[in-house]
Amino acid sequence: MMDEKMEKDEVQYDEEHLRTLLLNEDTDAFRDEFFELHAYDQAQFYEKVGPDIRQIIYQYLSPKEMSNVFEALELDDEHYEAFIDEMDPTYAAEMISKMYADDAVDLLNELDQDKISHFLKMMDKKAAEDIRGLLFYEEYTAGSIMTTEYVAIPENSTVRSAMTIMRNAAPEAETIYYIFVVNDDNHLVGVISLRDLIIATEDTFIHDIMNERVVSVRVTDDQEDVAQVMKDYNFLAVPVVNSKDEMLGIITVDDIIDVIDEEASEDYSKLAGVADMDTFDSNPFTAAKKRLPWLVVLLLLGMLTANLVDIFTGTLEKVALLAAFIPLIGGTSGNSGTQALAVAVRGIATGDSENESRIKLLIREALTGVIMGLVCGIVAFSIVYFWKGQILLGVLVGVAIACSICVATIAGSFIPLLMHKMKIDPAVASGPFITTLNDITSILIYLGIATLFIDKLM
């Protein structure tokens, strides 16, 4: 029974029935059933059917109706262009012009410059101007993800006139839950909720009931910072202003969800030492191209580890048993460094690290490293001593592990904080990079101490 329910939940529409209606050219029946579906299911059906079926869909849906489907699509970036190329250019241009401006810009950014110019020339003038304005902004900034379809009312208007403005603007606005208030110079001066507007008396002036403490973002702010603002304040939309506080647009929560997903995928890619994990590569050459750069860098760093072992060859020849513990010390050090890195990167991403000084954070992590190092060092000493019966060897391994864990924990915290301070994405300090770096330091500590006490070890 549960399996049947799950299957029903996963498939919210009869795909084959819709296909049959299309192939039988039953236009009215198809439209009736198609528009009863949720926008997500409409997009899923459109994506799953082949090009031949989609050509029929283009005949049955207007460009405006098709724009709603496209806004709900969740495709890999390179697939958008293939879908656009299937359409008649005039149909495609009108469809893009009917999309919300921010979604249209996201779509056009996946096309080459010639196609963008071609479509903009074919659109109506007003839509083309709005889209050109957003294409101007740098990618991954507030300006690149904002929409210009919002409701703004003059501060000197009454509730009655504001309701009239809202009714006229609402069909094109992306959201009407927040109504933004501007002065004669289009400066953002307040905000009022739809609820407050509805319950106010008609002759009340907007400036008497608006909230003047407006949280806004700059058009040049990074999209990740905008996401943090919306998370902190639980906004459905946030206004975007320029350096003069002039209202330019809004960013809605659906765009921020996409940003969070995109940023999380990007950070995970960097932590894994992969150039881009947004898409699943079926082509092994493409996949290898994305993964090779980091592997080559790590290979070169690994050569330093090999060189260090070579430097201490004399020590290892005198006490060959020392070599048995190199993987243990290097692995433990790398693991503790990766743990510290994960905590630091998460703290930076969530903004938690901004609430305390970096000195305090580093001191806390250093103490954490000391505690973990002491515990792991004692455990390692006990195992080596009872296994090999050599106190000095046990002390050497225990001290090396304790020191390596302490150093790795500090490095795992310090490096991402330093990168963040230098305006470099801290996720670049990836797990493989930190692990390799800690391998080098742990071997240097272990074999360096062993060399100092080589006579007693022999």
Of the candidates 173, 177, 171, 172, the residue with the CA atom closest to the CA atom of residue 192: 177
For residues 404 and 369, is the Cβ–Cβ distance under 8 A? no
Segments making up each domain of the chain, as ranges: 15-136, 152-268, 284-457
pLDDT for position 4: 41
What CATH architecture is 152-268? Roll (3.10)
Position 265 scores a pLDDT of 61
329 within 8 A of 404, measured Cβ to Cβ: yes
Q: Is the full-model pTM beyond 0.85?
A: no
* Nearest CA-CA partner of 371 in 405, 411, 334, 348: 405
Interaxial angle between packed helices 51-60 and 27-34, expressed in degrees from 0 to 180 and rounded to the nearest 10: 90
Which fold would CATH assign to domain 15-136? Answer: MgtE N-terminal fold (1.25.60)
Model pLDDT, residue 3: 45
Output the DSSP codes for 84-107.
HHHS-HHHHHHHHHHS-HHHHHHH
pLDDT for 91 equals 95
Which candidate, 193, 198, 197, places its Cα nearest to that of 175? 193
**What's the angle, vertex CA 369, arms to CA 364 and CA 370, rounded to 5?**
100
For 14, which DSSP code?
-
Query: What local confidence, expressed as pLDDT, does residue 6 receive?
Result: 38
pLDDT of residue 175: 87
What CATH number belongs to 284-457?
1.10.357.20
Question: How much is the pLDDT for 317?
Answer: 75
Task: Check if the beta carbon of residue 22 is closer than 8 Å to that of residue 53.
Answer: yes
Q: Which helix (H) or strand (E) segment is 193 a member of?
A: strand 188-193
What pLDDT tens digit does each residue of the chain (458 aa) get? 334 433 444 445 688 899 999 989 899 999 999 999 998 899 999 999 989 999 999 999 999 999 999 988 877 666 788 899 999 999 999 999 999 888 898 888 888 888 999 999 999 888 888 888 888 888 889 998 998 889 999 999 999 999 999 999 888 888 888 999 999 999 999 999 999 999 999 999 999 999 999 999 999 998 888 988 988 898 989 999 999 999 999 999 888 887 877 766 665 555 555 555 555 455 576 666 666 666 677 677 777 777 777 787 877 777 777 888 888 888 888 888 878 877 777 777 666 666 566 777 788 888 998 999 899 989 989 998 888 788 888 888 889 899 988 988 888 888 878 777 777 666 655 566 777 778 888 888 888 888 887 777 66
| Residue 436 confidence (pLDDT) | 76
